[in-house]
């Protein structure tokens, strides 16, 4: 449902269900970091929150684009794996919710931007698997240097890809993750890697705009190219 030229595109953003505190209350709430909302708004869109409750893929008919937000570890059961000792704080209900929305968005050709865990869910939803604890593979912690401390990643982008058209052949970003793509799903093309080989971006082949990145572009308000590209792509649907 593409907006006309006088309307701001409506961009759905997936949310968490987490214990939260506001005022005198401490209750479970649907939430997402404000930086996602600000990035969508600054890029020209209207952010709409999609909680993992009452999942109904037809809601995407009201949207012009979709952002799959970052967050907790993906449940290994989603890709038939045994949990690693470092895989914690999973949310199977959220995994299911986002997998349903991802598949529906792809069926509808709805522009899709998947961030960090979102890229991992894109891969899992299409049949891929994850490396559950990246330091086991790359032998360092630079992708998640300390609790609540973002790392910095430099990536090399494959030329001729959508990712390269948006970012050029080199990019940098803030990262915070210990899981990453392992077996890449059929139909998903890797378009950027870190110097340690970690998959940093991938696109769904045959789709106009279905892109995931492993870093957090919403954390850099000075570089909204990915969000701006998402908003512009809604005019092509």
Choose, from 116, 143, 203, 219, the residue flagged as catalytic.
Answer: 116
Q: Is 12 within 8 Å of 60 (Cβ atoms)? A: yes
Choose, from 175, 178, 216, 219, the residue flagged as catalytic.
Answer: 216
Q: Which one, of 226, 219, 230, lies nearest residue 35 by Cα?
A: 219
In eight-state DSSP terms, residue 9 is: P
Please say if 175 is a catalytic residue: no
Please say if 116 is a catalytic residue: yes
User: Cα(237)–Cα(233) distance, rounded to whole angstroms?
Assistant: 7
Q: Which one, of 19, 197, 215, 211, lies nearest residue 110 by Cα?
A: 211
Q: What is the DSSP string of 15-48?
A: -EEEEEEETTEEEEEEE--HHHHHHHHHTT-EEE
Token reading at 146 = 């300390």
Please say if 169 is a catalytic residue: no
Query: Could you tell me where the DSSP H helices lie in 43-191?
Result: 92-108, 117-125, 135-138, 162-167
Choose, from 98, 104, 218, 219, the residue flagged as catalytic.
Answer: 218
Question: Which sequence positions are flagged as catalytic?
Answer: 116, 216, 218
């Amino acid at each position: 449902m593409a907006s006309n030229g006088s309307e701001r595109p409506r961009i759905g953003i997936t949310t968490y269900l987490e214990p939260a505190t506001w005022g005198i209350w401490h209750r479970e709430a649907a939430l997402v970091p404000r930086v996602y909302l600000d990035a969508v708004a600054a890029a020209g869109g209207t952010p709409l929150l999609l909680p993992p409750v009452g999942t109904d893929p037809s809601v995407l008919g009201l949207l012009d684009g979709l952002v799959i937000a970052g967050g907790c570890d993906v449940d290994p059961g989603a890709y038939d794996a045994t949990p690693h000792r470092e895989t914690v704080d999973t949310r199977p209900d959220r995994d299911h919710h986002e997998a349903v929305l991802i598949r529906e968005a792809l069926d509808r050709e709805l522009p899709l931007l998947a961030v960090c865990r979102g890229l991992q869910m894109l891969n899992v939803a299409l049949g891929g698997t994850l490396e559950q604890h990246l330091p086991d593979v790359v032998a360092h912690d630079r992708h998640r240097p300390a609790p609540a401390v973002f790392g910095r990643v430099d990536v090399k982008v494959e030329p001729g890809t959508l990712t390269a058209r948006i970012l050029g052949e080199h990019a940098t970003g803030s990262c915070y993750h210990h899981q990453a793509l392992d077996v890449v799903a059929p139909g998903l093309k890797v378009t950027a890697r870190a110097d340690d080989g970690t998959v940093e971006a991938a696109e769904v082949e045959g789709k106009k705009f279905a892109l995931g990145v492993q870093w957090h572009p919403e954390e850099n308000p000075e570089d909204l190219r990915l969000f701006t590209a998402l908003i512009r792509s809604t005019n092509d649907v």
